[in-house]
Chain A
Amino acid sequence: MTASTAEILKLEPAPVTKPVSQWGLAWRRLRRHTLAMIGLVMLTVIVIACVAAPLLAPYDFEELDLRKPYAPVFTPGNPGQPVHILGTDALGRDIFSRLLSAGRISLLVALITTFLTVIVGSIIGALAGISGGWLDTLLMRFADLLLTLPTLPLLLVLSSSLRQFVALQNFLGSNLSVAIIIFVLLIFGWMGLSRLVRGSVLSLRGQDFISATRALGGSQSRIIFAHLIPNSLAPIIVAATLGFGGVIISESALSFLGFGVMPPTPTWGNMLNDARGAPLEHLFTQTLSPGLFIFLTVLAVNFLGDGLRDALDPRLKL
């Protein structure tokens, strides 16, 4: 039996889906990446633990007890005091508390350095990409020049030299070593990001929306900050995440060699340096914890960065 056209054409209303932004899509893709989620959880736990160090830590990070050096794990504290979860170090300081406080410094240094590197690198890269011509060549050649310098020795040299400037000592006081290490890592860290942003800007430059902005009277800086950089965010985010891990390792390495954050301010690299001087039978336990924290943090960041790279990949349908 034939039905009327109207009945046949009575279509069901299409299901209404909430529109998902490009970032929502990327987040969904990230959620499916198991390793990245593991990394994210690990990172969150570590960051929260370190930020809450004053609340979580059973001891103050400077509190000494010279009668109990190199105590093993789960040593009970003096009567009425909490247990030393990870034991004590050479001066009887509780390792667990020191780890949390050291984490604050290490994570803070890494965060500030990565943040500044992203800003400086993006601006320089965008400037180079959008100007072209001599400015582009000059900036990129300068970046090449800095890349040719052997990094670690110069980090050490700059770190030890800047420390000697009395003016800086007076200006920054006890934060001197932290400021120096941030500055020094920034100088040698912006190049990668600037190249990335420059590439992205070069490919965005020819697009119509840029010409439209220009036609509407947009200034150069508006084009850079409101259009070019936001559209380049995907590779910037991936590079920043992976760079965060790199900075943690660099800062620990510098502190380990004695050129980074100076004691008594604890940092994971510092604690490893102290562990080096431990008598041999305690070497394992002393080096295990600080290094483990560095390793877990960098691992988490690498997992996350890898997942972000796949999730934000512009070649897949976004």
Chain B
Amino acid sequence: MTTFIIRRLLQSVILLFFVSILIYIILNIVPGGPFDMLKLSNPRLGQSHIDRLNALLDLDKPLLPGQYCPKETGVQQPCRLDQGRYLRWLGKVVQGDLGQSWTLKPGSPVIELIWYRLGYTVLLMGISTFLAILLAVPIGIFSAVKQYSVADYAVTALAFFGQSMPTFWTGLMAIAVFSVALGWFPTGGVREAGAEGDIIEALGRIFSFGRLYPELAGKELSSILDGLKHVALPVMVLTYYNMAGWVRYTRTSMLEVLRQDYMRTARAKGLRERVVILKHGLRNALIPLITILALSIPGLFGGAIITETIFSWPGMGRLNIDAIAGVDWPVVQGLLVIQAFLLIFSNLLADVMYAVVDPRIQYN
């Protein structure tokens, strides 16, 4: 088992390396740089100025290791071997420096932008994933145990519906119904307009025992409640969407388990039906669910681009699309690498957990 883990770790690192190459090449082959807007807004800016700015950001160096002939003020300087932009970036990334934003917040480290949004995304995705699992597992099990009943058909139909509904439609309809027509929830954003702080700041204050955000003293509870009101609709949309897939998955898994011989043995032994289902069936049916849980980790930190856009939720998904729209490649690079890293290692985690939980599986 240890050799398996070590081997997979090495493979993961190599895979991550290749993925980073691919990401970097895709993002850097396209025309466009951080100073395009500058050129448009200031017609007196000549090409030599742009060249100098690009040289400051190391953007005139070659992509891969190769010849580099710098041009300082029109005078050709001796060519030298340069490590290339990719290796320079990679070197900084493994030290934790993801570069600096070009257009979203020029000069700010990418990590700072990500760190600011992380809390909101984890809140949104955490609550929805948790609720989705909490609801999907019992419903899926119930549906499997009572197969062919009316409830089963209803659940399967709802699951089908949920998987066929695009989240942007569900989100907009939810806003139209619950926000506009019924007025129960706000239409978007994270806080009431003009409010002092939002839920993340309030939670930060609580967890730091009052050291952060002193201006929120006494207002933590109202900020949290306000934040919960704002997060309710996106959570509903995401939970429904996730639930639809997971209910079907749990149901299929449970159906397979129910057909097994050991279930029949358990009943023949005279155990109560509830014990049979919960102790023998559920345990085995939940094994594939571990894979699902592990694979939802990248989503936890990556956010939901579409839902966050509709509800103006300031999370990682919104950061992603804002950066792409704003041609802010360092931020996009950083986000993509983080997501790829999370995906690769959560895959590894899923496989390891699978082996831990199921003694029948042995990796050699």
SS class of chain A's interface: helix, strand, loop or mixed?
Answer: helix
Taken together as a complex, chains A and B put the C-alpha atoms of A127 and B172 apart, in Å, by: 44
Q: Does A283 contact B (CB under 8 A)?
A: yes
Residues of B within 8 A of A269 (CB): 168
Q: Which bucket holds chain B's interface residue count?
A: 35 or more
Taken together as a complex, chains A and B put the C-alpha atoms of A257 and B308 apart, in Å, by: 11
Taken together as a complex, chains A and B put the C-alpha atoms of A235 and B327 apart, in Å, by: 40
Taken together as a complex, chains A and B put the C-alpha atoms of A67 and B298 apart, in Å, by: 48
Residues of chain A from 271 to 299 with CB closer than 8 A to chain B in the complex: 272, 275-276, 280-281, 283-284, 287-288, 290-292, 294-295, 298-299
Question: Nearest Cβ in chain A — how far from B195, in angstroms?
Answer: 21
Which of A145, A164, A295 lies in contact with B166, CB distance below 8 A?
A: A295
Stretch at the interface among B23-31, B87-95, B205-213, B279-287: B23-31
Which of B163, B180, B335 lies in contact with A153, CB distance below 8 A?
A: B335
Q: Who on chain B is nearest to A258 by CB?
A: B325
Against A, the Cβ 8 Å flags (1 = close, 0 = not) of B120-152 are 000000000000000000000000000000000
SS class of chain B's interface: helix, strand, loop or mixed?
Answer: helix
Known: A150-B339, A257-B321, A287-B176. A164 touches B19 (CB 8 A): no
Q: Does A85 contact B (CB under 8 A)?
A: no
Known: A148-B343, A253-B168, A256-B306. A154 touches B336 (CB 8 A): yes
Asked whether, in the complex, the Cβ of A303 is within 8 Å of the Cβ of B160, the reply is yes
Against B, the Cβ 8 Å flags (1 = close, 0 = not) of A127-164 are 00000000000000000110011101110111011101
Asked whether, in the complex, the Cβ of A275 is within 8 Å of the Cβ of B332, the reply is no
Residues of A within 8 A of B320 (CB): 153, 156
Q: Does A232 contact B (CB under 8 A)?
A: no
Q: Give the A interface residue count (CB, 8 A).
A: 43
Taken together as a complex, chains A and B put the C-alpha atoms of A291 and B164 apart, in Å, by: 11
Question: Nearest Cβ in chain B — how far from A43, in angstroms?
Answer: 12
Which of A158, A284, A299 lies in contact with B164, CB distance below 8 A?
A: A299
Q: Does B4 contact A (CB under 8 A)?
A: no
Against A, the Cβ 8 Å flags (1 = close, 0 = not) of B25-60 are 011011110000000000000000000000000000
Which of A145, A256, A284, A302 lies in contact with B177, CB distance below 8 A?
A: A284
Known: A144-B15, A149-B19, A275-B172. A295 touches B177 (CB 8 A): no
Question: Nearest Cβ in chain B — how far from A314, in angstroms?
Answer: 18
Taken together as a complex, chains A and B put the C-alpha atoms of A283 and B176 apart, in Å, by: 6
Against B, the Cβ 8 Å flags (1 = close, 0 = not) of A98-126 are 00000000000000000000000000000
Q: Does B161 contact A (CB under 8 A)?
A: yes
Asked whether, in the complex, the Cβ of B164 is within 8 Å of the Cβ of A302, the reply is yes
Against A, the Cβ 8 Å flags (1 = close, 0 = not) of B1-21 are 000000000000001001100
27 A-B residue pairs with Cβ-Cβ distance under 8 Å, sorted by A, are: A145-B18, A148-B344, A150-B302, A150-B340, A150-B343, A153-B320, A153-B321, A156-B320, A161-B26, A161-B29, A161-B30, A164-B30, A252-B168, A253-B168, A253-B306, A256-B166, A257-B305, A258-B325, A269-B168, A272-B169, A283-B172, A284-B176, A287-B172, A287-B176, A290-B169, A298-B165, A302-B163
B-to-A contact residues, CB < 8 Å: 15, 18-19, 22-23, 26-27, 29-32, 160-161, 163-166, 168-169, 172-173, 175-177, 180-181, 187, 298, 302, 305-306, 309-310, 320-321, 324-325, 327, 332, 335-336, 339-340, 343-344
Closest 9 CB pairs of A and B: A291-B169, A161-B30, A284-B176, A299-B164, A298-B164, A150-B339, A287-B172, A283-B176, A156-B324
